[in-house]
Amino acid sequence: MQDRYSILLVSIIAALIRFWQLGDIPQGLSLQEVKFALYLSNVFGEVVYNPFLLRLPFALLGTVSIVLWFVFLIKYNFSRQVTILATLLLIFTPWHIHQSRVLSIGMVIMVLSLILLLILRKLILRYYKKIYFVLSCMFILVSLYSIILQNPINVKHEVGELRGYASRLNINSFSYLFSNKYLESLRLWESLTFEYLDLGNYFFSGYPRERWGVEEIQKFYLVLLPFIFISFIKRSSVNVSTVILSLFMISLLVLFKIRDSDVSIVLLLPLLLIIVKGLMVMAQKIQVLVMVLMFIEFSLFSFNYYTGLTEGLFSPRRPLYEKIAKEIYSLNKNIIVADRLQNARYYFQYYLKNDLEKLKFREVKLEMENDKERYFLDVLSNGLSLERVEIIKEYDDSQNRKQIVLYRIR
Amino acid sequence: MKKILLILLLIIFFSTLLRVVFLDNLPKGFFRDEAALGYNAYSLLKTGKDEYGVSNPLVFRSFEVFFLPAYVYLSVPIIAIFGLTEFSTRLLSAISGILIVAAAFFIAFELTKNKAASVFSALIVSIAPWGIFYSRGAFEGNLGLAFFSLGFLYWLKFLNRNKLTYVIFAIIFFVLSMYSYQAERFVVPLIGIIFFLLSFKQIIELRKNLIIIFLFILILIIPISMISFNAGGYHRAIGVSIFNSKQNPPGFNSKIDFIPNDLFLLRMRQIIALYASYFSPLNLFVKGDYDMQRSVEKFTVFYTWNFPFLSLGFLWLFKTFNLKNKLLLSWIIIAPVPAALTTDLFHTYRSLLLYLPLSILTGIGISNVFDNLSKFKLLFIFTILLISLSSVSFFLYSYNVYNTYTRSRYWEFGYKEIVSFTGTLPKGTRVVVDDYKKDPKFENYIYFLFHAKTDPAKYQYEVAKLGNPNIYYYSNPSLLRPNRIGNITFEQVDWPTRRGDTGSVFVMPASDLPESEFMTDPKVKLLKEIRYPSGEIAFRIIKIL
């Protein structure tokens, strides 16, 4: 009975954090969300043009995942204290909050994994030592496959470059031994694997080793950092098995070269267990203090997150396109949208609810354009002669460090 | 024990090969700090004064770097024997590197009383990328680390044997490390306080000698304390301090005025992030120093295979959490603090103190596996040796081939060739060397002093024209030095206005003087092109006819 009330309370708190301003935060939709919505519009109609409703399933999955996590901890005989701490951490973890508020394949995988773990509970509890041995072997096999057999294309370029250095220095002896595709594949594997062991990746939004092209978000609160280390001071079987599970998950993520925070959220659960184990080493007063500090960090994070300040350089979301779409629609003019505005077609199709009658999407070469009746929407470039065009409106796309202009030909 | 000492000798011999062979030529190039250290030692040897003509300085001003004195003074006898060369300038750092290997052996033995741990620790240090790299350049930090490690060793000996002599030696070596490199000036006092508190019981037993010890420390640190209150003592620290950084911390938004966006809080967070990055496995085992001069292509401070053994070493550290291990942990915790308080990201030189204890823990981790094996011990040793040799081979190949190609320019390659060529020009030829930096510092002069082995007395005579150096030497951190050495002038050259300087020879970086600027001009004659090892043109030396 107590558990039922606990589950209810957990669900309510989790839902509040995940559903509030769901359509507006994070600001703007990603290309993935937009394409998904356009696909769903064939089935569900116009309802998907509401960002809140579009994101609703993932917020629900996020909330359900917390409930499942709570049940998992009880059913797997973790102590009451561990269950409460781990569940609280999951509810308030920035990583989970963010992934519950966007289209997230990782959230689907997390829920399915938890369901599977609950279904196979008896089997796992009975054979867990053998399972972890199997997982260890699979980790090694998957890693070896990544290194030896996969051989990605960009490794060939790297090898060629390195052999070029040796050749130009007239040091050709052993260059095939010291630069070859297997060695470079191993280095790539190491690089990707150790990205998952980088503290900055989890606690400091990637700082100082931010990754080019990867959306860096804060995953855990800073106050929890010491407990990753403290966790290993007292050895326990849970730690060993959690580490093995984490390594296996990392090997899969590396195999598929997944670096973003979406699918990799599957790592969140074992990492939370490790952190909680570290917390459990401390006296209860310290645990309470840590939770208080965590709530303070949560407040600070919430301020930044719900005001849109946590959007990083490589955020996939394009809030500016919503503004542009609605403004140009209100002009009621025929407009040509240049293909330099990447993927604009999908965004405008979404925000204008498929009403693209007055818009055309194509390549624009200003020197060959003569239509003075139409407007053009394009990225401001050096080739845009102000003598030839009249600028109607400018948009600052600071995210892409560009200016987007609406203009017409004089 | 004799057998083990023989193994140590073999490791030291191997370390010596790795650190001394081709020392003058690998890395390719010779950085200006090295030239400054070497030339000031040469100047001391010849005149008893530094390049500014100051007798027995406590810091060496050079180009406003204010080097700490230990490296320069200890290089004097080396330069006396070998002459002023790249080899003799770097040799002290190489010797320090070899000493560090020996120190690792004895420290591990004092910590564990385990011979295998000692041997593996020495092995790890001898082949570690950080150990080889920082032993092959004139790095004062390496000398500082050598002294610090000896200080730590003698402190452990004191704890094990309770003799006053060991305390004295420990203090001497710790203080010497403070005279060697900036990071130690910060770390040693902190470590000293922590060691004192942790070892209080043992120290109290010295009783009557305590006052002597405190007086001894005071006398040794008076000189370095005095200069700390002059610009010469703090200029460098302030220059690189994160609190003086013009760049905002990550996450700061100047338009928001609210607690989450508080500059101080975000700066503190940034410092914690930088501190944590020195323990990040990604930085320690895969990605190297951001700076191209301080890194080897494809390598960082440790080899990847060291990671599991370092993890085991840490488990051992916490499992056997006695006094000595607490001291070791204190060293590990404090070591990266100076680096974390500066603006540079993952600065391996400033955090050099960190890598020796981590190497020792790695060696202990290996020995834990070795000791727990009931069978196949020989096979394990063979495997470790094979992996070690392979790793160091790949490292040396990268260092010798890839770094030569990609990073010679960051080691200021080319100046030796420039000096050599300008030395062959007719006497009295006016030579203008372009200082091509946007924020001109006119630091290239040091290469001409070094490679030409300019008579220090002559240069000191030029410096004296600026005023009495004893007045400004420690207190004024502004750029103050002559911009000429004999017929060679150092300027920021504005080529369009200077191309009419008939008779002058200009030395300019190729990027500032492309072919199009002079190939069709009959009044400009190309005298020489200096190329990087990659074949790219580094400098052009031209004459205006």
Using a CB-CB cut-off of 8 Å, the residues of chain B touching A300 are: 259-260
Nearest CA of chain B to the CA of A12: how many Å? 26
Mean pLDDT of A367-391: 82
| Residue ranges of chain B whose pLDDT lies below 50 | none
At B232, the amino acid letter reads: G
A304 touches chain B (CB under 8 A): yes
pLDDT score for B436:
66
pLDDT in tens, B478-489: 777 788 888 899
Angle formed by the axes of helices A2-19 and A51-75, nearest 10°: 150
* Distance to chain A for B397, nearest Cα, Å: 7
- The beta-carbon neighbor of A300 closest among B260, B283, B533 is B260
How much of chain A exceeds pLDDT 70, in percent? 96
Q: Which residues of chain B does A183 touch, with a Cβ-Cβ cutoff of 8 Å?
A: 394
What residue in A sits closest to B311 (Cα-Cα)? A232
> Does the distance separating the beta carbons of B533 and A191 come in below 8 Å?
no
The predicted pLDDT at position A151 comes to 65
Of B45, B12, B91, B1, the C-alpha closest to B455 is B45
* Residues in A touching B535 (Cβ below 8 Å): 168
Cβ neighbors of B259 (< 8 A, separation 6 or more) are A300, A303, B265
Q: Which of the four pLDDT bands, split at 50, 70 and 90, describes residue A155? A: confident
Rounded CA gap, A340 and B119, in Å? 62
Interface of B with A in 232-251 (CB under 8 A): 250-251
The beta-carbon neighbor of A166 closest among B282, B318, B401 is B401
Is B274 near chain A, with CB under 8 Å? yes
How does DSSP classify residue A264? G
A169–B314 CB contact, under 8 Å: no
Cβ–Cβ of B402/A162 closer than 8 Å?
yes
Q: Cβ A165–B315 below 8 Å, yes or no?
A: no
Q: Which residues of B touch A207 (CB under 8 A)?
A: 250, 270, 273
Burial class of residue A79 in the structure, from the number of CB atoms within 10 Å of its CB (0-12 exposed, 13-18 middle, 19+ buried) = exposed
> Inter-axis angle of helices A237-255 and A181-195, to 10 degrees?
130
Would strands B524-531 and A359-362 be described as parallel, antiparallel, or unpaired? unpaired
Cβ of residue B285 closer than 8 Å to a chain A Cβ? yes
User: Nearest-CA distance from A198 to chain B in Å?
Assistant: 5
> What pLDDT is recorded for position A387?
78
Q: pLDDT at position A365, please?
A: 86
A window 326-385, beta carbon within 8 A of B: none
Chain B: residue nearest A225 by CA? Answer: B276
Sheet with B537-544, edge to edge strand ranges:
B484-485, B488-491, B431-434, B505-509, B537-544, B524-531
Whether residue A168 and residue B281 make contact (CB cut-off 8 A), yes or no, is no
Instruction: Give how far B276 is from chain A: nearest CA, Å.
Output: 7
User: Taking CB atoms and an 8 Å cut-off, how many pairs form between chains A and B?
Assistant: 102
Contact B283 A222 (CB under 8 A): no
User: How many angstroms separate the first and last alpha carbons of chain B?
Assistant: 73
Does any CB of chain B come closer than 8 Å to the CB of residue A293?
no
Residues 6+ apart with CB under 8 A from A381: A340
Position B123 scores a pLDDT of: 97
H helices present in A45-104, as ranges = 51-75, 80-92, 94-99
pLDDT reading at A307 higher than 60: yes
If you average pLDDT over residues A127-150, what whole number do you get?
85
Is residue A1 scored above 70 in pLDDT?
no
Q: Interface pTM (ipTM) of the complex?
A: 0.91
Chain A residues whose beta carbon lies within 8 Å of the beta carbon of residue B256: 309
* Closest residue, chain A, to B401 (C-alpha): A166
- Rounded average pLDDT over A272-295: 92
Q: What residues of A are in contact with residue B304 (Cβ under 8 Å)?
A: 190, 194
Strand partners, A300: none
Q: Does A130 touch chain B (CB under 8 A)?
A: no
pTM: 0.92
How distant is the Cα of A190 from the closest Cα of chain B, in angstroms? 7
**Cβ separation of B250 and A204 shorter than 8 Å?**
yes
- Largest distance between two CA atoms of chain A: 78
What would the pLDDT profile of A48-104 be if each residue is shown by its tens digit?
Answer: 999 999 999 999 999 999 999 999 999 999 999 999 999 999 999 999 999 999 999
State the smallest CA–CA distance between residue A79 and chain B in angstroms.
Answer: 25
Q: Exposure pattern of B507-545 as b/e (b: 16+ CB <10 Å)?
A: bbbbeebeeebbeeeeebeeebebbbbbeebbbbbbbbe
Q: Is A197 on the interface with B (CB under 8 A)?
A: yes
- DSSP structural state of residue A341: S
Task: Lay out the sheet containing A335-338: strands in order across.
Answer: A359-362, A335-338, A375-379, A402-409, A389-397
**Between chains, do B281 and A232 touch, taking CB under 8 Å as contact?**
no
Torsion of CA B6, B8, B9, B11, to 10 degrees: 130
CB contacts under 8 A, A 2-31 vs B, are none
Q: How far apart are CA A317 and CA B471, in angstroms?
A: 61
Whether B493 contacts chain A with CB within 8 A: no
- Give the position of tokens 């020989």: B378
Q: Is the pLDDT of residue A236 over 90?
A: no
CA distance to partner chain A, nearest, from residue B175 (Å): 32
Average pLDDT over residues A133-148: 86
